[in-house]
Structures are given as structure tokens and as C-alpha cells.
Amino acid sequence: MNGSGPKQLKKTWIWLVAMVGAGMLLVREVSDPALSLALAAALLTIAVLKARLVVLDFLGLRFGSRHLRIALLAWPIFFALAAAAKTLIAAFPSGG
């Protein structure tokens, strides 16, 4: 792990746990269907941020290959955008 010492990994782990907790609270507290799009956006944002921390710190790419880092960060972003598109399509069904 280039550049990611034990202190950095501990900070990253704490952030990951905090983001998991935030996601759990969001899912638990939101019951209004009108907020489902905002909830989906918040959860997808948290997921991408968690993936970013894992790629940068636990995979050791914070100071590693730029191309590999971009590719590994593009992967969760692609799936988050696909999930967002699916949510938007389901939220606004066609008139027929």
C-alpha cells in the first residue's frame, strides 16, 4: 500500500463505517414516496464515495497508476448512473 499508512487506513475505515451508518439511517427514516428520488441519489452518492475510499486507500491507488485509478473509479460511477437512470424511468412512467 503505497502512501497509505495505518493512520490513513484507520481514518478511511472510520469514514466507511460512518457512511454505512448514514445509508442505514436514510433508508430507515424516509417513508415518503415523494422523497424516493432524493433518497436514491443520496444512497448512490454514498456508494460512490465508499468505492472511492476503497480504491484510493485499501487498494493503494492514491499514489498509484493514474489510469488504473480512473478506471476503477469510473466503474462504480457507471453503475450508479445506470441505477439512477432506472430509478428515474420507474418514477416517471410513460403515458402510453
Per-residue pLDDT of the chain (96 residues; tens, 9 = 90+): 455 688 989 999 999 999 999 999 988 867 666 677 788 889 999 999 999 999 999 888 888 889 999 999 999 999 999 998 888 888 777 755
Residue 36: count other Cβ atoms within 10 Å of its Cβ: 14
Q: How many domains does the chain have?
A: 1
Domain extent at residue 15:
6-91
Take residue 53 and report the three cell numbers written for it. Answer: 475510499
| 96 occurs within a structural domain | no
pLDDT confidence of residue 71:
93
Residue found by looking up cell 485499501 in the block: 58
| 68 occurs within a structural domain | yes
pLDDT confidence of residue 1:
45
pLDDT confidence of residue 32:
67
Rounded to 10°, the helix 36-53/6-29 angle is: 170
Give whole-number Cα distances, 9 to 46, 48, 68, 95, in Å. 18, 18, 20, 50
| 64 occurs within a structural domain | yes
